[in-house]
Amino acid sequence: MRSVTGSAAYLGNVSGPACRAASERDPVYLQPIGAVEHHGPHLPLATDTLIADAMARAVVTEHPELNVIVLPTLSYGLSSEHLWAPGTISLGAATLLAVLDDVGASTVRAGASRFCLLNAHGGNTHLLRVAARELRARHGLTTFLAHCDLPPDNGGPPGDPREEGLGIHGGISETSVALHLFPELVDMSLAERAVPSWINEYRALGFERGAEFGWLSNDLSASGVAGDPTLASAEHGRESFAAAVEGLAASLAEMADFTYGQGPRRP
C-alpha cells in the first residue's frame, strides 16, 4: 500500500479524481481544529488554530511514510468560556457538531473510512469526543481524536509543577510552543503569571476530581490566563512540539491499520 506523500497529502492541493484515487489506499483523513479566542494579552487570537495547522503540516512533512490526507484546518471552535473577551469568535456547540457531521459525511463521499480530529483547544475536547462517536454512529467511519497538547483539565498530564496543575490556558506550555512556532506574534512584555491556586484549596471539587465546576476563563483570572507564561521559552516549545509530533505520528501509524475487534497487525 502506497502512502500519500508531499503536497498531495493536503486535500486542497489535489483534484477531485486524485482525491478519490487516494482514498482507495484507505488513508486517515485528518481534520485539524483550533479556535479563535482570547489567550491573554501576550498571545494572538489564532494561537490554537496556528498550532493545529503547524502540527498537521509537521507530521506529514517529517513522516512521509504515513498514509494521511490532511483536510483544511478548521479555524473556529467552541470557545464559550472566552466570549467575554473581545476578538473571540466562537461557533455554538450544536453548530460545531453539525459542521463536523457535514465534513465527515463529505469525506465518506470521497471514499474515506478513517477520520481523525486533531484538536488544539481544550474547550473543544469534550464536544469532539461526542463528535467522534456521532460520526462513527451516523456514517460508519472509524473515528479518532488526537490532541496537540491535552491540558490537565481534560485529563492530560499535570504539567510544570510551578503551575500547580492549573496551567491550562496561555501558560508555560502553550506560550512556549507559540514562541517556537510564531514568535513574531507573541509579546512577552505583556505576559503575567495568573495561576488560580484557590482551586487547589478544594479537595472534592476541581479538575479531574470527584466533581467538577463549570467555568469561564474570567472566573479563573482577570486576564483570562490560567498558568504562568513568564516561564515560557522557545526551546521548551521546540522540544514539546517535536515530542507531540512524534506522538501523533505513532498514533496515525496505528490509526491507518486499526481494526475494531482485533489488535494491531505486526510485520
Task: Please tell me the distance from the alpha carbon of residue 178 to that of residue 231, in angstroms, as a whole number.
Answer: 13
Least distance CB 59 / Zn ion (angstroms):
19
Nearer to Zn ion, 48 or 81 (CB): 48
Nearer to Zn ion, 50 or 58 (CB): 50
Nearer to Zn ion, 67 or 73 (CB): 73
Nearer to Zn ion, 39 or 114 (CB): 39
Least distance CB 226 / Zn ion (angstroms):
11
Cell numbers found for residue 61:
512533512
Subset of residues 24 to 53 that bind Zn ion, contact rule: CB under 5 A: 47-48
Least distance CB 169 / Zn ion (angstroms):
6
Between strands 68-70 and 28-33, the pairing is: parallel
Site size toward Zn ion (CB under 5 A) is 2
Nearer to Zn ion, 47 or 221 (CB): 47
User: From residue 222, how far is each of 23, 165, 218 by CA, in Å?
Assistant: 48, 19, 5
Q: Check: CB of residue 265 under 8 Å from CB of residue 204.
A: no
Between strands 114-119 and 68-70, the pairing is: unpaired
Least distance CB 35 / Zn ion (angstroms):
6
Per CB under 5 A, does 153 bind Zn ion?
no
Nearer to Zn ion, 36 or 58 (CB): 36
Beta bridge partners of 147: 119
Subset of residues 42 to 101 that bind Zn ion, contact rule: CB under 5 A: 47-48
Least distance CB 34 / Zn ion (angstroms):
8
Least distance CB 170 / Zn ion (angstroms):
7
Of all residues in the shown chain, the one whose CB is closest to Zn ion is 48
The 174-213 contact track toward Zn ion, x by CB under 5 A, reads: ----------------------------------------
Return residues touching Zn ion (CB under 5 A). 47-48
